[in-house]
Chain A
Amino acid sequence: MDKRELQKFYGWFSTLCILVGALTALGYYRDEYRPWKDYQRRFNNEEIRRASTPEQRLIASRVPIQIRQILLPELNRVDRCTTCHLAVEDPSYGGYPQPLAYHPLHDEHPFDKFGCTICHRGQGRATTAEDAHGNVAHWGEPMLPLKYIEASCGQCHEASDNPAAPLLSRGAELFETVGCRGCHKLGGVGGVVGPELDRVGTRRSPDWLRAHFLEPAAVTPGSGMPPQKFSEPDVQAMVLFMLSQTGTDLPSFYASMKVIPSAAQGRRLFQQKGCIGCHSMGGQGGKIGPALDDVSLRRKPEWIIQHFRDPQSVSPGTVMPRFGFTEAEAHALTDFLLHQGDKKMLMGIPALMSPVDRGSEVFRKYGCAGCHGQEGKGGVPNPNAKTAEQVPGLIHVADGYTKPELKTFILNGQHEIVPLDPSRPPPPLYMPAWGSTIKDAEIDDLVAYLFSLKPKDEKTDF
């Protein structure tokens, strides 16, 4: 190798070494420089500025710059949000600009038990604002806008009758009364015309849901779902309730928080646990246990709560089993017993209602109103259906069917709806077979209710 060639080689060699060195340095810089370090420095400086004694200043100046994380093995999460949001637990940072603002209202949800992302969503493991807030490609859970944050309450807590989350409760109530279950399954109950909604809160964005309620076909071409005429707050409530359906499997501690101690939720429990099998109210129910009408006069609240926790401890020898209620459930049931004078509370306990009222509940429970209209009045569009392009109302059902016929029809459904014009697409809405879903007792009540819909002053023409 002559001298010229050697020089050429050294030239190349040094250039490439510099290039590799420069790229390594650049890689190192990009790896080493992280915005969260700036935030931590800013926070430390603020702490130093606030320190009133030299000792405090010394302590503040020694706080290391490092990743902070909340490990939540039960929730299978690691939340590093506090790497930037350093002052969430310090009220003296109230009103500070982000990321150093204080997080109010977390007394009942301490950070070390809940972290951040279980409510706010986002990407807990990330350490850049963009990635952590989750509005990046390939992260399915962006942060929930604050106006929808109530949806997160519904992950652990019962959504309906939840005084702490009024809008969510409204959404849950609407879901049951508008008739969504007529077509959609949620928690295993509902029709099969539309998709199941169990995890819809993780699949769909708030904007998508909002658009979908107002004009379903606009976001899901070919959707047969009728547009919903919700008021603005009600759309918001429905979106919230849908967002709360995340299908998250919660570990026991979080799951035990389901019931909010309120009379309404107590009534629901009272109904679910079958209390009326042994106890009576308003003269109806079992005779094994004492009647509960005047229990609030006979017993103190503390006695009732203790009785739910452990019946034997206050009534030795009682046959009432220990149900293992959570503390919240015991409180809710007690609240219900103390407020049962409220007539509205008593409604909704099936054993205490007439068959027609119970049938009305069944009508509501399975979302029949979603297609057949409130109280079966009809008017819901079903394009290209021979029945005036609408789902038929049910007011005159008693004229066309006998009770057994109607029962059979509901149980078997009608998959093929006769089209008005066979050349157009078939009507999207149809009657699903309810046989596998609806219970035997419910179908009798439902038929009784449907027959009662016929206006009293009308005569049968045929």
Chain B
Amino acid sequence: MISSFLLHMQPAKVNRHSLRASYSFGLGLISLYLFLILCVTGVLLMFYYVPSTSQAYDRMKDLQFVVSAGLVVRNMHRWSAHLMVATVMLHMCRVFYTGAYKAPREFNWVLGVGLFLTTLGLSFTGYLLPWDQLAFWAITVGTNIAGYAPFVGTKLKYLMLGGNTVGQEALTRFYALHVIVLPAIAGLMVAVHVWRVRKDGGLSRPGESSDSVQSIPLGELPTNKSYGLMELARGTTPQVGQDPDDEVFSWPHLIFRELLLFLIVVAFVLFLAVFWNAPLEELANPIHPPNPAKAPWYFLGLQELVSYSAFWGGVVVPALIVMALIVLPYMDRGRHGVGVWFARERRVANTIFSVCVAAAVVLTVVGTMFRGPNWGWVVPWRAPPPTMEGH
């Protein structure tokens, strides 16, 4: 029964190429597993959490000191969240470098961009909930960046925070978004995203783009296959065009591997959670900003840009990035280089993308490690600890 459920989500047979770990690194699946871990630990945390400025922080302390396994569960949730942002980003890089966003997978790429933004939204809204200094000031900085948008910026910020500053209203909103709205959106999009992977013919692989789409007249369905009509899909599907030797049954080849990957992810998250505690700073204090106040790490590249120009860094660059990502598969219509890492035919696209990624990495690293008080330049190994207040 389990296997039939799993086989309804996945084709009965998959291409051998899709199983190669060095092709996909399982990044999409890892993201999905992390999302599941986040859902489970998140529900456990909800049993104890109270979204109130006067209680939230105390509840964090109680999780740490008196709730059985409270600390481990919170650690798992925190580390999974960071990991998920990272794996989603890496997953996008993988899809780009293998040209996997090309037809017929354009729409799934767009869904992926939506999932990426939802993931950032989930992480960002969750960031506020512990109501410590880290949370308060990261959200203050993050929403300030949103406030730089022209015309709608201040309204947008007001809408997010339910006021002009981070307070009880903001906490209530972020909580509702974090535990209901965004997980529901993410869940639905994940479902469609995963379904489309199958609908679009499984993982991209070399050679498939050169196949012409073969339409199979309904009356001529092969009879030697054990699967039915739902296997018929637009474009290239596992059963079309390839030597049958390239295909293996999903059970056990695919599903065993998925199970192993799940265990690896759980083990890794547990390992982090048992040995490293999630950060919890002092109680949020609106009159004592840490210097520097930093956004969550995935926004530090933006914050670094904002330090040069609020308008360019806070508005133009992120808007351009999102728009470029969305239109990418519709602009880049070349059919070559799909299913291969760093394909020669895609030199130009890969170079442009790599420069953007490198810039993002450099900006993020600079924002994370090389910025000290007043966003001044510091060398990390000689950095003074952040000060809590001036004299």
What are 10 A-B residue pairs whose CB atoms fall within 8 Å in the complex? A1-B256, A20-B270, A23-B270, A27-B69, A27-B273, A76-B54, A80-B65, A125-B65, A126-B65, A139-B282
Q: How far is the CA of A28 from the CA of B72 in the complex (A)?
A: 9
Inter-chain contacts of A126 with B (CB < 8 A): 61, 64-65
Interchain nearest-CB distance for A23 vs B (Å): 4
Q: How far is the CA of A171 from the CA of B273 in the complex (A)?
A: 48
Binds B, one of A9-17, A142-150, A232-240, A419-427: A9-17
The 0/1 profile, CB within 8 Å of A marked 1, for residues 242-278 of chain B is: 0000001000110010011001101100110110000
Selected contact of B69 from candidates A31, A67, A127, CB within 8 Å: A31
Inter-chain contacts of B281 with A (CB < 8 A): 138
CB–CB A16/B280 < 8 A: no
CB–CB A140/B270 < 8 A: no
Does B344 interact with chain A (Cβ within 8 Å)?
Answer: no
The 0/1 profile, CB within 8 Å of B marked 1, for residues 10-36 of chain A is: 001100110110011011101110000
Does B68 interact with chain A (Cβ within 8 Å)?
Answer: yes
CB–CB B391/A220 < 8 A: yes
Q: How far is the CA of A76 from the CA of B61 in the complex (A)?
A: 14
Number of interface residues of A (CB under 8 A): 34
**What size tier do the contact residues of chain B reach?**
20 to 34
Inter-chain contacts of A17 with B (CB < 8 A): 263
CB–CB A140/B282 < 8 A: yes
Q: How far is the CA of A12 from the CA of B21 in the complex (A)?
A: 15
Interchain nearest-CB distance for B122 vs A (Å): 24
Given A20-B266, A138-B281, residue A12 in contact with residue B260 (CB < 8 A): yes
Q: Name A141's closest neighbour in chain B (CB-CB).
A: B282
User: Which A residues are within 8 Å of any B CB, using their own CB?
Assistant: 1, 6, 9, 12-13, 16-17, 19-20, 23-24, 26-28, 30-32, 67, 76, 78, 80, 123, 125-128, 131, 138-140, 195, 203, 220, 223
With A16-B267, A80-B66, A138-B281 given, name 17 new contacts (CB 8 A). A6-B252, A9-B256, A13-B256, A13-B259, A16-B264, A20-B266, A20-B267, A20-B270, A23-B267, A23-B274, A80-B65, A125-B65, A126-B64, A127-B65, A127-B66, A140-B282, A195-B391
Inter-chain contacts of B282 with A (CB < 8 A): 138-140
CB–CB B65/A138 < 8 A: no
Selected contact of A13 from candidates B54, B248, B260, CB within 8 Å: B260
Given A17-B263, A126-B61, residue A67 in contact with residue B252 (CB < 8 A): no
CB–CB B280/A31 < 8 A: no
Interchain nearest-CB distance for A314 vs B (Å): 46
CB–CB B252/A1 < 8 A: yes
Inter-chain contacts of A19 with B (CB < 8 A): 263, 267
Q: How far is the CA of A131 from the CA of B68 in the complex (A)?
A: 17
Interface centre among A9, A20, A78, A127 (most CB of B within 10 A): A20
Q: How far is the CA of A195 from the CA of B274 in the complex (A)?
A: 44
Inter-chain contacts of B66 with A (CB < 8 A): 67, 80, 125, 127
CB–CB B391/A27 < 8 A: no
Inter-chain contacts of A123 with B (CB < 8 A): 61
Interchain nearest-CB distance for A74 vs B (Å): 14
Interchain nearest-CB distance for B386 vs A (Å): 11
Q: Name A12's closest neighbour in chain B (CB-CB).
A: B260
Interface centre among A16, A28, A127 (most CB of B within 10 A): A16
